[in-house]
Chain A
Amino acid sequence: MASAAATGQGIAAPVRPAAHWLKWAIIGVIGLVNLYAVTLMYIQGETIFALVTLILVATGLYVFAAPGAYVHRYIFPGVATMFIFIVFPLAYTIWIAFTNYSATNILTFERARAYQLSQSFQIADQSFDFALYGAGTNTYRLALTAADGERFLSPPVELRVPGAGPQPPASTAAIEVDLLPATAPPAAEPLPIKDLVRLRGVLQEVRAHLPNHTDLRMSGLRQFSAIRPLYQVLPSAQGGDGLILVNQQTKERIAPDMRSGFYRALTPEGEFTGPGIAPGFSVFVGWKNFLRVLTDPGVQGPFLQIFGWTLTFSLLSVIFTLAIGMVLAALVQWESLAGRGLYRLLLILPYAVPAFISILVFRGLFNQNFGEINVLLSQLFGIKPAWFNDPTLARTMLLIVNTWLGYPYMMILCMGLLKAIPSDLYEAAAMDGSNFIRDFFSITVPLLMKPLTPLLIASFAFNFNNFVLVQLLTEGRPDIIGAQTPAGTTDLLVTYTYRIAFEGSGQDYGLASAIATLIFIMVGVLALINIKIMRVDRPT
């Protein structure tokens, strides 16, 4: 680093040749390894990831190799990680919003195609009688006899029952065996059927190859049959474009439907027909996911309801925490009050306890049957509110818990800002006969509001996306009835997208990303407003 630094400064420092060569060797190795990985990714159809890796590695190598980019060596690692984990996920989420990426359409087209081409089927009329002969410990020879009496024999093959004996378990990959023509069966007795039963598991992994390149697979305890790839690419002589595959069993033609993301059967006229053939692959679907959010009643209804609740929740959270925090800050900053340090410490306590623990504590305390809050309420008033099953109560509970969690932050902010209010303002007010309540509302509040505004917007944005609270306290429950996607009455937009993406059977990443993109836009607008307000504030 020191020698490289000197070069960057243009000071002629002696560069040790060994270090020099080492540097270039390391750069070369990293470059080659990554070039290999990028090529691999590109072949698999992961174009986006290949591109991102290529850009990052190339930039990194340039920054650390070129003397002219010396300054950028300081920022590259940090900026690169921010790029990978903030900018790229943002951009990639927006990209997914325009695709049908989901549990059913999870592969790339290249992988779905490779999967179809790896399928095989057995040809029943090309079967061989099969016998197994011992050839040493765990080693056997396969003997096959065709219907016309032609015999084939394999060289000794190792066949291990997985997990048996001290040997490591056999791998699950296919065992390739080449068969050779033979004139007579081996002299020894074939293994009895109980050994075949014992070895059945491994034998099913055997792929035997005849000299004429026919592939055989076990089709019964005493039988091997020929297998063929189920799909073959339609040759261009017959009008194939490299995409159409022919089912060798039924002669049906299938082709990838780039609109639905599935292989589908083709009519003789070349039209798609029938349902999609799994596995699906992800394709670009345009604005479809956004249109679903805005127009599909099963999605739009819950979306609007959740959006409304998200706004209400964030706004009320800010108002409650601010009101309580400001009053407490004013009290604690009152100089003639004894024990202010202790109050301050105890009041901050909810902020100091990790949120994931306190939220779970409230989840237990609010439990309808076993929770201490209901035990108290039923002893005092004889009521047992259903905190988790009634939408209004569940929302009230969320707000209570969030106020508990959030007021110390507002208190800390206000305490810092209160110190900046000159005390002669209060003295002047006292001369005019003001009391402390009027002081609070006509001096303290107006003077605090201006510097607080950007922080309140940030707090609003934070609560808008308060994932941990909802996920750990109610998990969005109680559910909205009639929703097409998993949705709850206490869900915020973020937990709603999480549920669409990771819960239930649908796992619709495309739809989840479309909603996430809409949230990005709202958060972005808030961020811009915030920066504008801060800039207005700065000159004063």
Chain B
Amino acid sequence: MAMVQAKSIIYRKLAAHAFLWAWLALIIFPLLMVIAISFRTGNFAVGDIIPSHPTLDHWRLALGMSIVDESGRTIPPPFPVLLWLWNSIKVASVSAVLIVALSTTCAYAFARLRFGGRSLLLKAMLVFQMFPAVLALVAYYALFSRISDYFPPLGLNTHPGLIFAYLGGIALHVWTIKGYFETIDKSLEESATLDGASPWQAFRLILLPLSVPILAVVFILAFITAITEYPVASILLQDESKLTLAVGSQYYLNPQEYKWGDFAAAAVLSGFPITLVFLLAQRWLVGGLTAGGVKG
């Protein structure tokens, strides 16, 4: 009996491995393809999957260097990919820092202080975060064109304006941090208050240092959300030099000017660091993800 069972387990294991490898081959194929395409000559598929004449031209263009083609013409880089990546990182880091600051102070009040409308506000936040910003793009555009009229540095086509718009998405983070604060024992803060510390001091000097892990998770979540955000950025940003990567990348695959090879190099170059950040952080993120809805 035991022998038979062991044998059937071996078969099952083999079947499981075979299935997983077949599935992985299917899933990873597009990603490997893009890497191959980024080294292939020209911008069109020529029939072979592994490039026969590897070239670094697409990578040079992606890194902002001009190349000289066979007829001696100098081809400048089609798009400022590195600038777009920098714009994305800038917008994402600043908005993530501000989101952490805003949601931490909010979460502190919700977790530790008592005030009118507390539970109503908490519930309202849960409901309102279900409505995606993409449904209100007209309102966003109208709002920012008004801000442009009265205070241009925060208006349309500015990075501060985009960062400002991203600050609206803090509801889930407030819930996450509030949940974490509630797991920390109150007695430390209470004894500090007895010694004359103000609520701000108790929050700043005792609670915050204890909450660094959750703040890091929220920072990374907010960072990834901002760097992959497309609709709001596509409405607010207009100049090519101001675009974020998410908005700019699509211009490579314009049917009139199809730059498939150049896109592949730019995609690998810019997608790699973001993917790496996500994979490194995923152990800590999984908990936050299961608690809070779907990746946007």
Contact = CB atoms under 8 A, between A and B. Distances in A.
Contacts of A462: 132, 293-294, 296
Nearest to A40: B150
A528 B13 CA distance: 44
Given A86-B128, A347-B27, A467-B132, A370 B33 contact: no
A346 B135 contact: no
Contact of B142 (A75, A92, A472, A519): A92
B167 A1 contact: no
A502 B232 CA distance: 13
Contacts of B97: none
B198 interface: yes
Interface stretch (B183-191, B211-219, B263-271): B263-271
B289 A412 contact: yes
A350 B271 CA distance: 12
B110 interface: yes
A85 B168 contact: yes
B258 A370 contact: yes
B200 A1 contact: yes
B107 to A, nearest CB: 9
A85 B250 contact: no
A536 interface: no
Given A462-B294, A472-B250, A2 B132 contact: no
Contacts of A41: 146, 150
B95 to A, nearest CB: 11
Given A81-B167, A81-B168, A375-B47, A363 B138 contact: no
B130 interface: yes
Interface string A386-421: 000000000000000000100001001100100000
B242 to A, nearest CB: 17
Interface stretch (A127-135, A265-273, A353-361, A482-490): A353-361
A447 interface: no
B261 to A, nearest CB: 10
A194 to B, nearest CB: 40
A334 B9 CA distance: 11
B125 A82 contact: yes
**Range, interface on chain A:** 35 or more
Contacts of B249: 356-357, 360
Given A82-B168, A90-B128, A354-B228, A361 B267 contact: yes
Contacts of A223: none
Interface string A446-460: 000000000100110
A336 interface: yes
B279 A348 contact: yes
A19 interface: no
Given A471-B230, A526-B130, A365 B30 contact: yes
B247 to A, nearest CB: 8
The interface centre, meaning the residue of B37, B164, B282 with most chain A CB atoms within 10 A of its CB, is B282
Nearest to A332: B20
A501 interface: yes
Given A82-B128, A526-B130, A337 B13 contact: yes
B235 interface: yes
Contact of B138 (A75, A379, A516): A516
A66 to B, nearest CB: 13
B76 to A, nearest CB: 22
B253 A360 contact: yes
A509 B126 CA distance: 28
A32 interface: no
A171 B110 CA distance: 54
Contacts of B16: 331, 334, 337
A350 B135 contact: no
Interface residues of B, number: 96
Contacts of A526: 130
Interface string A375-391: 11001000000000000
B49 interface: yes
Interface stretch (B55-63, B65-73, B98-106): B98-106
B253 A86 contact: no
A193 interface: no
Given A85-B168, A354-B274, A357-B270, A458 B231 contact: no
Contacts of B137: 498, 501-502
Contact of B139 (A81, A96, A354, A364): A96
Contacts of B279: 345, 348-349, 352
B129 A86 contact: yes
Interface of B: 9, 12-13, 16-17, 19-20, 23-24, 27-28, 30-31, 33-34, 37, 43-45, 47, 49, 102-103, 105-106, 108-110, 113-115, 121, 125-140, 142-143, 146, 150, 164-165, 167-171, 174, 196, 198-201, 224, 227-228, 230-231, 235, 245-246, 249-250, 252-253, 258, 260, 263-264, 267, 270-271, 274-275, 278-279, 282, 286, 289-290, 293-296
- List of 7 A-B pairs having minimum Cβ-Cβ separation, nearest first: A85-B168, A89-B136, A74-B109, A5-B198, A78-B106, A89-B139, A92-B139
Given A354-B228, A358-B30, 19 more contacts: A2-B200, A40-B150, A49-B146, A82-B125, A88-B143, A90-B139, A346-B28, A347-B24, A355-B228, A357-B271, A363-B253, A367-B258, A375-B45, A409-B295, A455-B293, A467-B132, A494-B132, A512-B138, A523-B130
30 contacts: A5-B199, A9-B199, A75-B121, A89-B133, A89-B140, A328-B20, A336-B13, A337-B17, A338-B13, A346-B24, A349-B31, A354-B228, A354-B274, A355-B295, A360-B267, A361-B30, A361-B264, A363-B253, A364-B253, A367-B258, A404-B27, A467-B230, A468-B230, A471-B231, A509-B142, A512-B138, A513-B138, A516-B135, A528-B127, A530-B130
